[in-house]
Structure 1
Amino acid sequence: MPDATGAPGPGPAHPTKTQLIELLAHVLSAHVADFTAAAAASDLTASQAKTLGVLRRSPASMRSLATSLACDASNITGIVDRLEKRALVRREVNPEDRRIKNVVLTEEGERTIDTVRETMHRTQQALDKLSGEERTELYRLLGTVFPE
């Protein structure tokens, strides 16, 4: 919570779940706005950049992408088509089931999502305020609350 000067204060000693949810909503909103602007600077929609981010972790089937991105499978086809046209992803046959196509990030796709992340200036500046130990603790806490 900001103090009279606008600087963030220490916050409540024991925040309620509601207070935590409000703060998470504020942080997420700022992150999404920053991510959307960084994606646009790379000539991507937020959905296209999110797809590249999901694929950064590992290749995925179209169905799996739709689930991860919480959207209809028909939307994924259009997103992947546009990313493939730019050589940011490619489709490969799943070795375990040849009927399934996996979507794989290309080297250019990796560079592009890295650029998006690097140009998220507001998020980068916010994280720069933390020490290495604080970033480690935040990473651990977020991983505990929202396991992958």
Structure 2
Amino acid sequence: MTEAPRTDTARLMELLSVSLGVYYGDFTIAAASENLTASQGKALTVLRRGPAAMRALAETMTCDASNMTGIIDRLEKRGLVRREASPSDRRVKNVILTAEGERVTDAIRAKMHTTRDGLDRLSDEERDRLYVLLERAFVTRPACS
């Protein structure tokens, strides 16, 4: 039995690019259905993980802090997020998802039919493997030396 040829990094990057393009398009349409820009939807998704300081949120979203302020201002006006002073440093503002923000985030995810259909084609075992691989490749980062 011969071993399958290894996939090189360039081919993986291309497939990842296609996958992310499908995901981003699906996400953008779902966010728009909730009258949100993709950036506003992304901010809600990031905040779904937990409260974040404005600066950390801007870094996570790779966006300028002044742009982040505008995004959060618009989300706050709609009652999707609120700002609170950090308990450890009153100068730092944490952004917190409201119950309505959680509802909208869930609605966006529920409307991402193309992405859901693709993931639903995988078995439970394949999804578990994909989760572990994506987490290892992109979430778990080595400590700074």
Give the structure-1-normalised TM-score.
0.90
2:123 maps to 1:108: no
1:6 equivalent in structure 2: none
Deviation at 1:13, TM superposition (A): 3.5
| Distance (Å, rounded) in 1 between the aligned partners of 2:124 and 2:46 | 25
2:119 equivalent in structure 1: 127
1:72 equivalent in structure 2: 64
Deviation at 1:14, TM superposition (A): 1.5
2:136 equivalent in structure 1: 144
2:143 equivalent in structure 1: none
Letter of the 1:86 partner, please give it: R
1:3 equivalent in structure 2: none
Where do 1:1-148 residues align within 5 Å? 13-148=5-140
SS at match of 1:109: helix
| Distance (Å, rounded) in 2 between the aligned partners of 1:13 and 1:146 | 24
Cα-to-partner distance string for 1:36-73 (whole Å, 9 max, x where unaligned): 00000011000000000110001111111110111111
Aligned length: 137
1:4 equivalent in structure 2: none
Deviation at 1:111, TM superposition (A): 0.8
SS at match of 2:79: coil
Following TM superposition, the consecutive aligned residue runs of length 4 or more in structure 1 with deviations greater than 6 angstroms are: none
Letter of the 1:135 partner, please give it: R
SS at match of 1:136: helix
SS at match of 2:19: helix
| Distance (Å, rounded) in 1 between the aligned partners of 2:6 and 2:22 | 24
Deviation at 1:23, TM superposition (A): 0.3
Structure 1: 5+ residue stretches without partners: 1-11
CA RMSD of aligned residues (A): 1.0
SS at match of 2:13: helix
| Distance (Å, rounded) in 2 between the aligned partners of 1:65 and 1:15 | 35
SS at match of 2:114: helix
Give the structure-2-normalised TM-score.
0.92
